[in-house]
Chain A
Amino acid sequence: MAKRIEASNVTAYYGAFKAIENINITVEPKTVTALIGPSGCGKSTFLRSINRMHEVLPGARVEGSLTIDDQDIYDRDVDVTAVRRMIGMVFQRPNPFPTMSIYENVVAGLRLNGVRKKSILDEAAEKALRSANLWDEVMDRLGKPGAGLSGGQQQRLCIARTIAVEPQVVLMDEPCSALDPISTLAIEDLMFQLKDKFTIIIVTHNMQQAARVSDRTAFFSIEKTGDPGRLIEYDNTQKIFSNPSQKKTEDYITGRFG
């Protein structure tokens, strides 16, 4: 059920500032794609434009075309909420809803979209929590607040919340940057499992992580501060990390720059 994403000539602005320019990427279904690059090069901006979260900020807009299985995401009569249900997102910092319990957090996406039946919600909650490797840790305290969990558990709760609505694509914006190595490992394991069902695109600053989890890697960079971010190279992860075709990519992954 996972879907192919195609970006062609995607350019995104914050007001008058052009953050990324002419990004062309095709992401195959059931793969993990890593976006790497120095800070401010537009990785997150590109990620957020894929599920139309970019336009949430005042003055932000996107040009070019983004399609998911040949449907244009930015078409005039596309329902934004439908796009976001199809393309879920996990954020850098865990953001469980503070007024909701663990259970309510997981089923929030379903419940707030009109699913009422208790049996469906219960089933979805258990399934999502099991997929997120969190079920065993929280099964006896589902009624407790989600904000009471540890950072790594909260992030897995947010992943469970995202996959509970059964999206086709999961976007992850530096999901491990606030976590310790053990929680990071748990989430990387999770990505391997989720790959069977979802297309995953992950932004990371950790190059070992990109090398470990992803099938394909895209390297973004900027000339200098104030310039728009560009896609420098996009290839199989192994190729990028062993034999990149661009000098800039090599400089970056060997630590000579950025």
Chain B
Amino acid sequence: MTTTVTSHRPRPAAQPDTLRAKRLPRYAAPAIALAALLVAAVVVYGAGIGGPVLVVVLGALLYLVGLFVAANAVEGRRAARNRTWSALIHSAFVLAVLPLASVAWTLISKGVERLDGDFFLTSMNNIGARDPNGGAYHAIIGTLEQVGVAALISVPLGILCAIYIVEYGRGKFAFAIRFFVDVMTGIPSIVSGLFVLAFWVLIVSPWFNDGRPSFSGFAAALALSVLMLPTVVRSTEEMLRLVPAPLREGAYALGVPKWKTILRVVLPTALPGIVTGVMLAVARAAGETAPVLLVAGGGAAINFNPFENNQSSLALFVYQQAGDASRYAPARAWAAALTLVALVLILTIAAKLLARRNRLGR
């Protein structure tokens, strides 16, 4: 090695005499990583200052330093910087994925315990603190109905609103709508729940409920739709703006009226993006607890009717079970949380597939 070092003097930057450069051997990076981990383990356990987490953190730092030094000695400064930055970017990705993997693992490992037929087919009606069974059937129904009704309200309204802003809106009025949609994005879910509680449950619903306020799944859907609306509007708006103007002009030039151009050319082109935005909104709504707690009450029994009597939802079920004193409750809470995540995942995949089916294969 010493003989090669002398020949490796910095070349004049202007004109390299060869295109070839010395490279670290293929095994160098893994070898340095292994060595770094070993050194870190010896230091950490030798000094008795921590566990495996510290070993990995210290090992990663040692790896970055070792890689830079080795690459600098063999490949030169530019290549060493490149390798170090690449390693840093990869570690940033790992750091970002770690919490996700951790959440998924915790959910699955703790959720499968109660993930049985009983859980999906029974409610919490007449389940006492000493009963090990009981399920989330009523909560699943509640989530599906409330989110479904909320989507029925907010998706058409949101898409129409976005179409107005992008295709028709001019001047101050359109600007005001955009501004207030932005403001709506920041509404905390509890505020939306309180709004529906004050406006719908306490003022409007008594008119057709013999003068008594009616807590219901529909009220929860109203609150959720308030939360979904801005997400749907903003994402649809962005997608509509991405549709190239020449497509609209191409349709106009064929004598197609504006409304038909929007319906048959612009919307289909933007559809995959709109579906993604809608699913983001659905995922957000499905995970909300506070509005459901406030205006749907959260019963323990199965209630298919969203317009009458209390309903629960998966998020609310998790909240209630997690705070329950029964020793069987935490397992139910974890199973419900896993169900909720799986439900949103399935809905998202289904929607994506449906949107893709509308597009032509290349």
**Partner-B contacts on A (CB < 8 A):** 51, 53, 56, 58, 81-86, 88-89, 91, 93, 95-101, 108-109, 112-113, 144-145, 148, 158, 161-162, 165
Query: Using Cβ atoms and an 8 Å threshold, which residues of chain B touch A113?
Result: 254-256
A53 to B246, CA, bound (A): 11
Asked if B269 and A161 sit within 8 Å, CB to CB, the answer is no
B257 interfacial contact with A, CB 8 Å: yes
Query: Using Cβ atoms and an 8 Å threshold, which residues of chain B touch A83?
Result: 255
Query: Using Cβ atoms and an 8 Å threshold, which residues of chain A touch B271?
Result: 99
Complex A-B: 15 CB contacts under 8 Å: A83-B255, A84-B255, A85-B254, A91-B250, A91-B253, A95-B244, A97-B247, A98-B269, A99-B271, A108-B254, A109-B255, A112-B264, A113-B255, A145-B362, A161-B250
**Partner-A contacts on B (CB < 8 A):** 170, 244, 246-257, 260-261, 264-265, 268-269, 271, 358-362
Query: How many whole Å from B10's CB to the nearest CB in chain A?
Result: 48
Complex: chain B residue closest to A101, CB-CB: B360
Query: Using Cβ atoms and an 8 Å threshold, which residues of chain A touch B261?
Result: 112
A109 to B361, CA, bound (A): 23
Query: Using Cβ atoms and an 8 Å threshold, which residues of chain A touch B264?
Result: 112
Query: Using Cβ atoms and an 8 Å threshold, which residues of chain A touch B358?
Result: 99
Query: Using Cβ atoms and an 8 Å threshold, which residues of chain B touch A58?
Result: 170
Asked if B257 and A81 sit within 8 Å, CB to CB, the answer is yes
Complex: chain B residue closest to A98, CB-CB: B269
Majority SS at the chain B contact face: helix
Query: Using Cβ atoms and an 8 Å threshold, which residues of chain A touch B255?
Result: 81-86, 109, 113, 165
Asked if A162 and B254 sit within 8 Å, CB to CB, the answer is yes
Complex: chain B residue closest to A165, CB-CB: B254
Query: Using Cβ atoms and an 8 Å threshold, which residues of chain B touch A93?
Result: 246
Asked if A95 and B254 sit within 8 Å, CB to CB, the answer is no
A86 to B360, CA, bound (A): 31
Complex: chain B residue closest to A83, CB-CB: B255
Asked if A112 and B256 sit within 8 Å, CB to CB, the answer is yes
Query: How many whole Å from B352's CB to the nearest CB in chain A?
Result: 16
Query: Using Cβ atoms and an 8 Å threshold, which residues of chain A touch B269?
Result: 97-99
Complex: chain B residue closest to A97, CB-CB: B265
A242 to B251, CA, bound (A): 40
Query: How many whole Å from A114's CB to the nearest CB in chain B?
Result: 9
Query: Using Cβ atoms and an 8 Å threshold, which residues of chain A touch B254?
Result: 84-85, 88, 108-109, 112-113, 161-162, 165
Query: Using Cβ atoms and an 8 Å threshold, which residues of chain A touch B252?
Result: 53, 56, 84
Q: A95-B247, A98-B247, A99-B360 are in contact. Are A89 and B170 (CB under 8 A)?
A: no
Query: Using Cβ atoms and an 8 Å threshold, which residues of chain A touch B260?
Result: 112
Query: How many whole Å from A24's CB to the nearest CB in chain B?
Result: 25
A108 to B248, CA, bound (A): 13
Query: How many whole Å from B283's CB to the nearest CB in chain A?
Result: 26
Determine which of A51, A108, A145 lies in contact with B251 in the assembled complex, contact meaning CB atoms within 8 Å.
A108
A161 to B251, CA, bound (A): 10
* Residue picked from B257, B264, B360, B362, most chain A C-beta under 10 Å: B360
Query: 10 smallest A-B Cβ distances: which pairs?
Result: A85-B255, A109-B254, A89-B253, A145-B360, A95-B246, A99-B268, A84-B255, A95-B250, A112-B256, A81-B255
Asked if B360 and A97 sit within 8 Å, CB to CB, the answer is no
Query: Using Cβ atoms and an 8 Å threshold, which residues of chain A touch B362?
Result: 145, 148
* Residue picked from B170, B253, B359, B360, most chain A C-beta under 10 Å: B253
A218 to B22, CA, bound (A): 65
A99 to B359, CA, bound (A): 6
Query: Using Cβ atoms and an 8 Å threshold, which residues of chain A touch B265?
Result: 97, 99, 108, 112
Asked if A95 and B257 sit within 8 Å, CB to CB, the answer is no
A162 to B254, CA, bound (A): 6
Complex: chain B residue closest to A51, CB-CB: B253
Q: A98-B269, A99-B269, A99-B359 are in contact. Are A53 and B257 (CB under 8 A)?
A: no
Query: How many whole Å from B175's CB to the nearest CB in chain A?
Result: 14
Complex: chain A residue closest to B246, CB-CB: A95
Query: How many whole Å from B67's CB to the nearest CB in chain A?
Result: 45
A21 to B185, CA, bound (A): 48
Complex: chain A residue closest to B268, CB-CB: A99
Query: How many whole Å from B146's CB to the nearest CB in chain A?
Result: 33
Query: How many whole Å from B265's CB to the nearest CB in chain A?
Result: 6
Query: Using Cβ atoms and an 8 Å threshold, which residues of chain B touch A86?
Result: 255
Asked if A95 and B170 sit within 8 Å, CB to CB, the answer is no
A86 to B253, CA, bound (A): 10
Query: How many whole Å from B322's CB to the nearest CB in chain A?
Result: 46
A148 to B253, CA, bound (A): 22
A68 to B287, CA, bound (A): 61
Query: How many whole Å from A162's CB to the nearest CB in chain B?
Result: 7
Query: How many whole Å from B245's CB to the nearest CB in chain A?
Result: 9
Asked if B249 and A158 sit within 8 Å, CB to CB, the answer is no
A89 to B256, CA, bound (A): 13
* Residue picked from B249, B254, B256, B261, most chain A C-beta under 10 Å: B254
Query: How many whole Å from B33's CB to the nearest CB in chain A?
Result: 45
Q: A91-B246, A144-B360, A145-B362 are in contact. Are A97 and B251 (CB under 8 A)?
A: yes
Query: How many whole Å from A168's CB to the nearest CB in chain B?
Result: 12
Query: Using Cβ atoms and an 8 Å threshold, which residues of chain B touch A100?
Result: 360
A139 to B359, CA, bound (A): 21
A144 to B250, CA, bound (A): 20
Determine which of B249, B268, B361 lies in contact with A56 in the assembled complex, contact meaning CB atoms within 8 Å.
B249
Determine which of B253, B256, B360, B361 lies in contact with A53 in the assembled complex, contact meaning CB atoms within 8 Å.
B253
A162 to B361, CA, bound (A): 25
